[in-house]
Structure 1
């Protein structure tokens, strides 16, 4: 136990005791009537005589009490279920799964929710720690300085925008460069104003941050640039996505892949049945504004026995899909079939005997304000086979920004998946050809060459290259 935990434990225990005392002090005292004791004279009791129920009543007293108890039990169960389904304080595993399925996941970690449920609801910024409050005062003073600097920069930008280009040294080009530099510095000041605020950090860790604000985008990018970015770049290098698919590529957007509510780690081998349903993407961008993107899912390992090589196949293609920092979810099955979908989803499959197939998921950003012609895309890529991502990128001026990948191999359910998808070739099995060495057979030399005659039969046991029993190198 650290010194900080040892110092905070007495305070936490006192807060919990006060909370329990306040909670029990407000509870009304429950009174109940019971039968008198056997040694007590029933005529001396001071209780008011109760009128017996009429004989003609349809329900007896026992039935009424049982009904009241059952109603009270149902009410208590309902209240308990409501409390367990509170996304701020729940700690039950089944409640967490149900909240996630309802689209309202629990807030923060389970340890945080347990602490909130067993302690008073004190606002985070009003925690009774003197050092914490003194540090917040210093942070507030620093924030006020940053706000004043932001106001000055805004005034500079407005003054420069109102100035005609012919009055600026360097003309229109220098004016635009100066405006871009000032706006970039303004965004940095907005981040520095809130980067040390504990309330902002707490909201981001709980998943309640507004991604339209630059500080939360900064935190999200910083988190992604850690392990997730390293893993995805490692997969690009290990699985030879560069240069097999693109000559060079560095992702700048976080792309997470989900199949049937299951998050897929980059490069994992999936069962064919899971890929029958189109996946859902979570694409988190780190720059402001709304943009249009294209989504491509392609197989870069389609075997071709005629040419003894591998080709590419398009499994999904959609364009003109809107994307913004606050709306990262992109279900591929819910895109507009008339204005966005160019090539419908095809499940991942691999024929028997073939090596694993790499299915890459690319997110390509379109030019600002440009809308692609879906009819033209359907005409070009409806055949699926022979798809080239580099050609698609160059033809329509797209920029690859996001990437994820999964793999597939032949399994026991692949034949059924191919049959349901209408794909032929489930009965085809690939076999590797045996490649024989083209080197000439080496002749025996030295000691072995001199003792090949039958009179040296007693020495053959010391050699491995005599009379066809050779197992050495050739």
Structure 2
């Protein structure tokens, strides 16, 4: 059964938090929880005042150009303020995280990521309920690490939605009789198989981000399983690239305008090859020169958006695209966070359309060559077949 359509505009009308006055034991527990919340909220207010005073002191010692003065004394002050901000964040979470109305809102897809307790519960659910474990299991079992990048430590809950096949529409309509139209895109579980027809149009990306400041990310979609005949190995094809994507915790909905840089080329696994892995990366770009992402820079800097002037990748540079060299050149480090996703595809008859209308090249075929037939070769012209040694 599908999940009901729940949002701030369409709140859930049933199974709301238990009201006071129904169960005495619950009322007593709620009284204790609210009393503790008030105490922690008061402590958080005192901590916030301390942070404000330390912040003002640090700002007063900042140069006119906005760059912090170097020195051990300054580093010590920054370290102390970072610890104070960390404690304040913990207190803000603890002051609300046990309230029934907060947990109910998060559990029913009505969270507000500008609220620390909501961010904490969503991040905890992503890390504890299996979604992150499944993602890491798939990217390691299928050797995305280290084939694409040596290290990936996701900090963003990245979701990919692909177009449904028409065969799915009837069953979906039966489950959604009350809806007047069917959403033709569906979330893809990491590692699942899609068909080339499903990815003929670009997938949609959604991200749950847990930092409150706006940071920039670079999105890449690559296929590391393209045969390299000359070297008798595999190479990488760049399918999609978009730098300078601004994201923060308050971002909601689909990530827009992804096809405005290096255009999307649909996946096209070659005939005769095993399954191809399609790896979606959302890598964090470095902040303004001289800074790193911390709670202090989040508060001290109005912008941490060091735009990367990446040129559009020409069509002839897509085959053999070196992800590691690209990441080194632009300071993109998967060990520092970001998002990752992957799915798999195999060849079918719809791949030919990609070669004809997108790549404008003949479709190659790989596999074992047929047994030699001198009589046939005498009367037939050479074909365009390509064979991979050891296939």
Same fold (TM over 0.5): yes
Output one character per residue of 1:238-268: Cα deviation in whole Å (capped at 9) or x when no partner: 1111111111222121111101211111111
Seen in structure 2, the aligned counterparts of structure 1 residues 220 and 382 have a Cα distance that, compared at 3 Å, is farther
1:254 and 2:157 matched: yes
2:366 to 395, 415, 430: 430
User: Paired residue for 2:133?
Assistant: 230
Contact conserved, 2:207 with 2:255, CA < 8 A, in 1? no
> How far apart, CA to CA, are the structure 2 residues paired with 1:330 and 1:382?
30
1:175 and 2:69 matched: no
> Post-superposition shift, 1:422?
3.5
> How far apart, CA to CA, are the structure 2 residues paired with 1:173 and 1:277?
50
Contact conserved, 1:343 with 1:382, CA < 8 A, in 2? no
1:365 and 2:284 matched: yes
Seen in structure 2, the aligned counterparts of structure 1 residues 430 and 104 have a Cα distance that, compared at 3 Å, is farther
1:299 and 2:299 matched: no
Output one character per residue of 1:44-98: Cα deviation in whole Å (capped at 9) or x when no partner: xxxxxxxxxxxxxxxxxxxxxxxxxxxxxxxxxxxxxxxxxxxxxxx9x7x95xx
1:266 and 2:168 matched: no
Contact conserved, 2:216 with 2:247, CA < 8 A, in 1? yes
- Tell which has more relative contact order, 1 or 2 (C-alpha 8 A, sep 6+): 2
> How far apart, CA to CA, are the structure 1 residues paired with 2:135 and 2:220?
17
1:355 to 251, 274, 281: 274
Seen in structure 2, the aligned counterparts of structure 1 residues 162 and 429 have a Cα distance that, compared at 3 Å, is closer
Output one character per residue of 1:328-372: Cα deviation in whole Å (capped at 9) or x when no partner: 43446x33x6xxx32100111112111111110000111232011
Structure 1 moving runs of 4+ over 3 Å: 103-108, 122-127, 161-166, 328-332, 379-382
Gapped runs of 5+ residues in structure 1?
1-90, 117-121, 435-474
> Post-superposition shift, 1:290?
1.6
Task: Identify, as 1 or 2, the structure richer in helix.
Answer: 1
- Aligned pairs for 1:281-430 (under 5 A) are 281-331=205-255, 334-335=257-258, 341-368=260-287, 369-373=305-309, 376-378=310-312, 383-400=317-334, 401-426=338-363, 428-430=364-366
Between the two proteins, the alignment pairs up a number of residues equal to 318
User: Superposition RMSD on alpha carbons, in Å?
Assistant: 2.8
SS of the equivalent of 2:227 reads strand
1:208 and 2:103 matched: no
1:134 to 24, 28, 45: 28
Contact conserved, 1:107 with 1:207, CA < 8 A, in 2? no
**Normalising by the residue count of structure 1, what TM-score does the alignment of the two structures yield?**
0.62
Contact conserved, 2:17 with 2:104, CA < 8 A, in 1? no
Seen in structure 2, the aligned counterparts of structure 1 residues 414 and 163 have a Cα distance that, compared at 3 Å, is closer
> Post-superposition shift, 1:417?
3.7
> Post-superposition shift, 1:170?
5.9
- Aligned pairs for 1:68-79 (under 5 A) are none
> How far apart, CA to CA, are the structure 2 residues paired with 1:385 and 1:297?
13
Output one character per residue of 1:14-60: Cα deviation in whole Å (capped at 9) or x when no partner: xxxxxxxxxxxxxxxxxxxxxxxxxxxxxxxxxxxxxxxxxxxxxxx
> How far apart, CA to CA, are the structure 2 residues paired with 1:256 and 1:366?
20
Output one character per residue of 1:384-403: Cα deviation in whole Å (capped at 9) or x when no partner: 11212211211111233110
> Post-superposition shift, 1:419?
2.4
Gapped runs of 5+ residues in structure 2?
62-70, 164-184, 288-304, 371-391
> How far apart, CA to CA, are the structure 1 residues paired with 2:149 and 2:41?
44
Contact conserved, 1:302 with 1:310, CA < 8 A, in 2? yes
> Post-superposition shift, 1:127?
5.4
